[in-house]
């Protein structure tokens, strides 16, 4: 097992290298630069001095090697947009807020999605099932920025129950968390329902029934355990997705988090930040898939890692 995990982590290195090269090339292909975009704040000499200071006057492949040699020492460079902060410092400062929001959204999504999906499957083709299906289809099809806007229109502006935005008090957390959790909740409910329905139709459940086991025992011991296994692949990617934030939720509800940088870093041509975020995402995704694969072995003794 340890050997397998180490092999997978080692296999990540070439992927990260190629990915960083692609990102590096693409971001330098984008016209404009960090200091002449939009406003003309600097004279030509100042601009040249700035470029020289950050190494932007060198050819792109040299810049890449310089960046790479920094990364080896765990130094991802300084942000261009926030010149007194390093990329790691900036991510470290803004990520906790986003993670807080994401963790609460995850909790709501799983806490509501799993039971809804299971109940819908057990009460298949009743009004409970149709209600859950309708709810999850709605959550599935509405982009979270649409939910966010509708929530503000209804709960903040019309009913005045909660503030329109901000991130200081728990009252301000409610709308963004709910708006952010609806889509993953719907996904979880949908796939849970499908998986439980499928397991309920399998031979060993019929055998369990034939043995005269009680329905609640069958559901708890046989159905749920087996239904969860294929769901791991669906649930895994939800986690990195939610904890890295969304620019839409953060912009609509004025949450000071990491999410906005996924777009503003490109807007500002903040090269170190762009590539830092790309690496962060790639590592998160790879770790998620690795954890999912390891969890497979843990929950299902029939599966062996190669």
Contact footprint for another protein (CB under 8 A): 15-16, 18-19, 22-23, 26-27, 29-32, 125, 137-138, 140-143, 145-146, 149-150, 152-153, 157, 164, 191, 194, 197, 201, 203, 230, 233-234, 236, 244, 247-248, 251-252, 262-263, 265-267, 274, 277-278, 281-282, 285-286, 289, 292
**288 phi, psi to nearest 5 deg:** -60, -50
- Smallest distance from the beta carbon of 206 to another protein, in angstroms? 8
- Smallest distance from the beta carbon of 35 to another protein, in angstroms? 16
CB of 33 closer than 8 Å to CB of 56: yes
**201 phi, psi to nearest 5 deg:** -90, 5
Given the complex with another protein, which of 103 and 290 has the nearer CB atom?
A: 290
Given the complex with another protein, which of 201 and 304 has the nearer CB atom?
A: 201
Given the complex with another protein, which of 130 and 217 has the nearer CB atom?
A: 130
- Smallest distance from the beta carbon of 123 to another protein, in angstroms? 14
- Smallest distance from the beta carbon of 136 to another protein, in angstroms? 10
Give 32-101 as a DSSP string.
S-TTTSSS--S-HHHHHHHHHHTTTTS-HHHHHHHHHHHHHTT---B-SSSTTSBHHHHHHHHHHHHHHH
Given the complex with another protein, which of 46 and 233 has the nearer CB atom?
A: 233
Dihedral angle of Cα 63, 66, 72, 73, to the nearest 10 degrees: -130
- Smallest distance from the beta carbon of 43 to another protein, in angstroms? 26
CB of 85 closer than 8 Å to CB of 79: yes
Given the complex with another protein, which of 94 and 278 has the nearer CB atom?
A: 278
Given the complex with another protein, which of 107 and 157 has the nearer CB atom?
A: 157
- CA-to-CA distance for 181 and 285, rounded, in angstroms? 19
């Amino acid at each position: 097992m340890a050997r397998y995990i180490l092999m997978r982590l080692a296999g990540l290195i070439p992927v990260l290298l190629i990915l960083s090269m692609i990102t590096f090339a693409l971001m330098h292909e984008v016209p404009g630069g960090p200091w002449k975009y939009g406003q003309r704040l600097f004279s030509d000499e100042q601009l040249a001095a700035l470029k020289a200071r950050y190494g932007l006057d060198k050819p792109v492949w040299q810049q890449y090697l310089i960046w790479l040699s920094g990364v080896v020492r765990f130094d991802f460079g300084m942000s261009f947009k926030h010149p007194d902060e390093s990329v790691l410092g900036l991510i470290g400062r803004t990520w906790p807020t986003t993670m807080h929001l994401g963790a609460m959204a995850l909790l709501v999504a799983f806490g509501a999605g799993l039971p809804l999906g299971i109940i819908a499957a057990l009460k298949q083709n009743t009004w409970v099932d149709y209600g859950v299906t309708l709810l999850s289809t709605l959550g599935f099809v509405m982009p979270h920025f649409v939910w966010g806007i509708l929530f503000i229109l209804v709960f903040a502006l019309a009913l005045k129950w909660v503030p329109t935005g901000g991130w200081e008090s728990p009252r301000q957390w409610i709308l963004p968390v709910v708006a952010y959790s609806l889509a993953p909740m719907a996904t979880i409910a949908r796939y849970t329902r499908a998986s439980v329905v499928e397991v309920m139709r399998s031979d060993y459940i019929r055998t369990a029934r034939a043995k005269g086991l009680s329905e609640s025992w069958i559901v708890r011991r046989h159905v749920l355990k087996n239904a969860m296994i294929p769901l791991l692949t669906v649930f895994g990617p939800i986690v990195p997705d939610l904890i890295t934030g969304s620019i839409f939720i953060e912009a609509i509800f004025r949450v000071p988090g990491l999410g906005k940088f996924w777009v503003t870093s490109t807007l500002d041509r903040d090269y170190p930040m762009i590539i830092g975020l790309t690496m962060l995402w790639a590592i998160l995704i790879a770790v998620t898939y690795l954890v999912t694969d390891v969890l497979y072995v843990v929950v299902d003794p029939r599966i062996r890692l190669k």
